[in-house]
Each structure stands twice: as structure tokens, then as C-alpha cells.
A = this chain, B = another copy of it.
Amino acid sequence: MIRMSSSFIRTLREDPSDAEVASHKLLVRAGYIRRSAAGVYTWLPLGLKVLRKVEQIVREEMDAAGGQEVLFSALQPRAPYEATGRWEEYGPLLFRLQDRRGEDYLLAPTHEEMFALTVKDLFNSYKDLPTTLYQIQTKYRDEARPRAGLLRVREFVMKDAYSFDISDQGLEASYAAQRAAYQRIFARLGLETVICQADAGAMGGSRSEEFLHPTPVGEDTFVVSDGGYAANVEAVTTLPPASLSAEEIAALPAAHVEHTPGASTIAALTDFSNQAFPGQGPVAPSGEWTRYEMLKHLVYMLTMPDGSTEPLVIALPGDREVDPKRLESSLAPAIAAPFTDEDFARYPVLAKGFIGPEGLGLDAPSKIRYLVDPRVVPGSRWVAGAGEADKHVYDLVYGRDFTADGTIEAAEVRDGDPAPDGSGPLRKTRGMEMGHIFQLGRKYAEALDLKVLDENGKQATVTMGSYGIGVTRAVAALAETHHDEKGLAWPRAVAPADVHVLATGKDAAVFEEAERIALALEAAGLTVLYDDRPKVSPGVKFKDAELLGIPTSVVVGRGLAEGTVELRDRAGGTSRNVALSEVVEETLAEVRA
């Protein structure tokens, strides 16, 4: 039993000055956590109980899915992370330090390398596989902008699991098992999640999904369709319009260059087209020209991981902007920067403001890589720069008049865009990443030479999966989702106590009866928070109970004269009187409902 009179729990009436989101405000005000530095928090007694409950649910489901728990150090040497390239790739997100001998160490952001090396150390045969190992451990990331309390911090508890298989099918099965375990975990936690196709990003690998908890305070934008498609914006693929056949293309009008004085923007070019060639637009049924068919060309200078650079031209429908995150994700590990005037001077074929497909492509003399939006399909008709000032080409047909080196997913995704699987229009929503699962494949195993003997006695590289859940963040998400204007309202599975007993009033009999009930509830197997503070008014106790958010409260006070206590349900906001003789039974029924 936690007695509030002697517990290290102090509630605050004011929101912390740096708090923007509800979970941050309430977790601090209710005395669950305390900030000790930017993005670094202390777990106070009630907060730690919630954290441990979340951990235990994760642990049970990991064990049920065949995972074996281990524990790695946060402090790890540089060499393995150097071998996989992550020592550099992580950039300023990695906490690096040196020991007294000047050796480089890091505080691990994840442990792919160390798990792979340990499996390499212990296993040597395909018979040892598959195996899935996990840990619930403290991770470090030097976030540029820690924010929102526990939502983005620099030290946090994470469950990270790693699967090791000999075959691709094995990896599929291990991945599926973790995926199913994640669904069970979030269901038990009472956290709605949407499984989104994700971009593997810096982790590499072939397939990846995110478990996103939909919430307006989320940092991730993802799209869903009514038909069940869900994807991180970075991972959305564009549903291209139908291509035309060679016959159909042959029937299209020939391309022709037009004088387009001053039409150096998409808007100006659209206006000009509607004035100069009214009713001849190729897409709108009315024949109106739209920004869509004004093919926009954007020029970037790419920097490769080895430091070399190369130019890139991207073409996309004129009504779309580039989404910087989608562009970054499509080009990774290369980094794109807009062309500078010096860059333009080096590539005279690129006439700023009037760039068109002419002269672009790896096969062209310019050798400039040229990628187009997936909507640029064979037979699609465009207006594009003619490569010189005040000239544009009309009826420029892809597949007939120009081709590209490939397509790129860089254009923004909009509400109403069709889902790539045909499941209906997409709508954007915000979410918080609760989990992320990756089919890493053999990237890490190759870098670290993780091989086992296969069935034929030959060395075969192991294929890996990596599976993370942000345990700290799950606590924040639970607080974010389960609260009202009065305070927290924990789901039973993670509440720091089953029941909150309040002794209200000054009468000694109230305290005696409350104590008796608290002890009886504890004897019945419940965890009890008992507000036994003398000289604290009923009003303050009620306010604190609402702020602390224990699912069920037993209020001992005025009803005692009639032999009743009040049973309150925090989430539902309801209450009822029960007879003293039935309080244990009734409370148990509520808690176990």
C-alpha cells in the first residue's frame, strides 16, 4: 500500500512552463516524472510503476512470441558501429565519448551490431536458427530538439528485438511473429495503433512497418484510406494514371514550341496557356489548362556518402510541391541541396526558369540524371520549358518526345490522392511512432561477417530483422490519450495502483474505516493508493485523485453514517454508493471487469 501521507508524491496546480502537450503537463503535475535536463527525465514512484507495467506487458508478449531476453550495455565501443557505417551515419544524434585511454565509445541508440556479434560469437550452424533475442534497455539519442515531455527525449527505455534467420522465408516468419506480438502488446496497453508501411531509412533493409498511434500531437504524418491502406508519408507510392498504348500515342498531336513571354512560373504559364490556347488543355474535360500539366523541373545537387557530387533534375506535375521528407527518403543516403548560381554556371544546358527534358538523362551528352514523378507515364501530355528563355514546348508526350532515367517519389501527398492499392482516397493524419519493425536482410550480417554453416556445410550469411517499441514513449502516449481536463485516467493494465482509497473529512472514524478498507482491498490482491493525509481537505483530495488518474476510487466520508462509501470510476466519470459490507466485493468486480 502506498500511503500518501508519507509518499514521495507531490502534485502541482500549475502546468510546467515548458509544457505544450497534455501528457507532459499532466505527468509532471501529477508527480509521475521530473525533468533533470533537456530531454532527460526522472521517474518518480508512481511514474516508475506505470513504466514497469508497460515493460512487463511488452516482456510477456515478447516471451510468448519466443523471444529470449538479454541485456546489453548502453556503453559500447566504436568498432562494430564503424563496421556498419552507423558511427558516421548517425551524425549528431549519437552521443560519443572517450574513456580515460582515449578510446572511442558511444551510448547505443540501438544494438543491431552488438546482437549480431553476440550471435556470431555463440552460434555457428543453421540448426541454431531461427532465434529472436530482445532487451528492455535504456537508449540514448542526442535529439536536436527534445520536446513534449516524454514524447521526444534523449534517454529513454526501449524494447529492441532482433531476429536471426538463415532464409528469407525464415525472416518473413520471424517478422510476422513480431508483428503479431506488437498487435497484442498495443491491444493490451489500450493504445490504438495503425500499421503503416514505412521507409526503412537509415536502418537499411527491405521492408519496414511502423506502428503509429493516431494523435494530433504526433510528429509523424501518415495517410490512410477507408479501404485499410496506411503508410507513412515517406513510404506512400503514387498510383499512376493509365498509360496510353503506342497506337493511342501515335494519334496525339505533335509537340510544338511556343513563344511564352514572361511565363517563368507555373501560375503565369497556366494563365498564358488559357489565354493563348483556350479550351485546348489536354486533361480537364472542359479543355481548361491547369497547373497539373505544366511539367515542373527542379534541379538539385546531390552529395553522396563518399563526398562526391552530381546534379539531378526532377520533373513533376506543376500543381505539386516537393515534400522534402519524401525527397530525402527517396534519395538516401545521398543528400540533396538546391542548385546554386555557381552550379547553374557549371551546367549551361540547364536554363534556369525554362528547363525542359531536352538534353537531360544519363544517356544524353550532359549525363545529368533525370527522374520524373510516377504520374509522368507513357502517353501523358505536358507543357515544359524549351531550354531557352520565353519558350515552352506544348503537347510534349512522355514515351514519344522524351524519356527519363526513372521515377521518383518526391511529390507531396495530398488528401484525396488515391491509395496505391486502390482502396480509396487517402487522407492525412498525425501519429506518434510507437513501434517500428524492419526486415533488415543481410546488411548488418555482411558488415559484421555473421555467417553460419548451412545445410550443405557452406558458410551462409544470416538475415536479420529488428523490432523496436518505445516504452517510455508508450507511457506518454497512454497519458496523452487517456486524460481529460481534470487529469490522467489510466487504463487498468498500466495504472500505478488498482484502487485509490480516500479518507475525507476530519472524523477519526473515517480514517479508521478507510484504513480497514484499504487493508482489506490489499488483502484481496489489489494494489492500493491510500490518501491518508490528515488536515488535507476533501476538495484537495478529490482534485488530486482526478489528477493522479487511478481507475477506481473508494471515497470514505460523509456516507459512513449511513453505512456506505462511494465508488468512483475515473474514466467514466460515474459514481455510486455501495454498502460498507460490499465494498471489497464491488471494488474487485470493477477492477476485474
Seen from chain A, the residues whose Cβ lies within 8 Å of a Cβ on chain B are: 6-8, 10, 31, 34, 36-37, 40-45, 48, 51, 66, 68-77, 92, 95-97, 99-100, 105, 107, 114, 117-118, 121-123, 131, 133, 138, 140, 142, 144, 154-155
CB proximity of A119 to chain B, nearest CB, Å? 8
B122 touches A36 (CB 8 A): no
Q: Which residue of B lies closest to A42 (CB)?
A: B72
Closest Cβ neighbor of A117 among chain B residues: B36
10 closest Cβ pairs, A-B complex: A97-B97, A43-B71, A92-B100, A10-B122, A37-B77, A40-B73, A73-B155, A8-B68, A45-B68, A100-B142
Alpha-carbon distance A92/B97, docked complex (angstroms): 13
- A122, B8: Cβ atoms closer than 8 Å: yes
Within the complex, the shortest CB–CB distance from A105 to chain B, in Å, comes to: 7
Q: Are B36 and A73 in contact (CB under 8 A)?
A: yes
6 A-B residue pairs with Cβ-Cβ distance under 8 Å, sorted by A, are: A8-B68, A8-B70, A36-B77, A37-B76, A75-B155, A95-B97
Which residue of chain B is the closest to A153 with respect to CB atoms? B73
Indicate if the CB atoms of B6 and A73 lie closer than 8 Å.
no
Measured between beta carbons, the chain B residues less than 8 angstroms from A72 are 36, 42-43
* Residues of chain B contacted by A131 (CB below 8 angstroms): 6, 8
Chain B residues, Cβ within 8 Å of A97: 95-97, 107
With a cutoff of 8 Å between Cβ atoms, the chain B residues found around residue A75 in the complex are 37, 40, 95, 107, 140, 154-155
B74 touches A155 (CB 8 A): yes
- Tell me the smallest distance from the CB of A490 to a CB of chain B, in Å: 18
List 14 additional contacts besides A8-B131, A43-B71, A75-B155; criterion CB under 8 Å.
A7-B68, A8-B68, A36-B72, A36-B76, A36-B117, A36-B118, A37-B105, A42-B70, A44-B70, A45-B69, A51-B71, A75-B140, A95-B97, A138-B138
Q: Which residues of B contact A117 (CB under 8 A)?
A: 36
Q: Residue on B with the closest CB to A157?
A: B71
B residues near A40, Cβ cutoff 8 Å: 73, 75-77
Instruction: Give the copy number.
Output: 2
- Assembly CA distance A72 to B47 (angstroms): 12
Residues of B within 8 A of A7 (CB): 68
User: Closest CB of chain B to A35's CB: distance in Å?
Assistant: 10
Chain B positions within 8 Å of A42 at CB level: 70-73, 114, 118
CA distance A451 to B36 in the complex (A): 19
Within the complex, which residue of B10, B37, B48, B123 is in contact with A123, where a contact is CB–CB below 8 Å? Answer: B10
User: Which B residues lie within 8 Å of A69 (CB)?
Assistant: 45, 48
Contacts of A122 in B (CB 8 A): 8, 10, 31, 34
The answer to whether A118 touches B71, judged by C-beta atoms less than 8 angstroms apart, is: no
A145 nearest CB across to chain B (Å): 10
Q: How far is the CA of A154 from the CA of B74 in the complex (A)?
A: 11
What residue in chain B is nearest A40 (Cβ atoms)? B73
A8 to B142, CA, bound (A): 32
**Residues in B whose Cβ lies below 8 Å from that of A99:** 95, 142, 154
Q: What separation, in Å, do the CA atoms of A107 and B107 have in the docked complex? A: 10
Select from chain B the residue with minimum beta-carbon distance to A130.
Answer: B6
A144 touches B100 (CB 8 A): yes
Instruction: Using CB atoms, name the residue of chain B closest to A94.
Output: B100
* A317 CA / B71 CA spacing, docked (Å): 53
Most buried by B among A42, A72, A74, A121: A42
Complex CA–CA separation, A72 to B37 (angstroms): 11
Q: How far is the CA of A204 from the CA of B36 in the complex (A)?
A: 24
In Å, the complex CA distance between A10 and B142 comes to 36
A74 — which chain B residues lie within 8 A by C-beta? 74, 138, 155
> What is the bound-complex CA distance between A76 and B35, given in angstroms?
11
A472 to chain B, nearest CB (A): 11
A75 to B144, CA, bound (A): 16
Q: From residue A266, how far is it (CB to closest CB) to chain B in Å?
A: 39
Minimum CB distance partner of A123 in chain B: B10
Complex: A73 Cα to B8 Cα, angstroms:
18
| A70 CB contact (under 8 Å) in B10, B45, B92, B154 | B45
Most buried by B among A6, A70, A72, A123: A70
Complex alpha-carbon distance, A447 and B313, angstroms: 61
Closest to A140 in B: B75
- In the bound assembly, the distance between CA atoms of A105 and B131 in angstroms comes to 37
Cα(A121)–Cα(B154), bound, Å: 22
Note all chain B residues with C-beta closer than 8 A to A44.
70, 118
CB distance from A34 to the nearest CB of B (A): 6
Instruction: Name the distance in Å between A497's Cβ and chain B's nearest Cβ.
Output: 14
Among A36, A95, A131, A155, the most chain B Cβ lie within 10 Å of the Cβ of: A36
Min C-beta distance of A158 to chain B, whole Å: 14
CB distance from A172 to the nearest CB of B (A): 19
User: Chain B residues with Cβ under 8 A from A76's Cβ?
Assistant: 36-37, 40
Q: B residues within 8 A CB of A51? A: 71
A43 pairs with B31, CB closer than 8 A: no
Please measure, in the bound complex, the distance between the C-alpha atom of A586 and the C-alpha atom of B10, giving whole angstroms: 51
Residues of B within 8 A of A105 (CB): 37
Residue of B nearest to A71 (CB): B43
Q: Which residues of B contact A96 (CB under 8 A)?
A: 97
Q: Which residues of B contact A71 (CB under 8 A)?
A: 42-43, 48, 51
Contact of A48 among B70, B138, B142 (CB under 8 A): B70
When chains A and B are docked, how far (Å) is the Cα of A97 from the Cα of B70?
A: 27
The complex places the Cα of A546 from the Cα of B44 at a distance, in Å, of 43
Measured between alpha carbons, how far is A250 from B116 in the docked complex, in Å?
A: 82
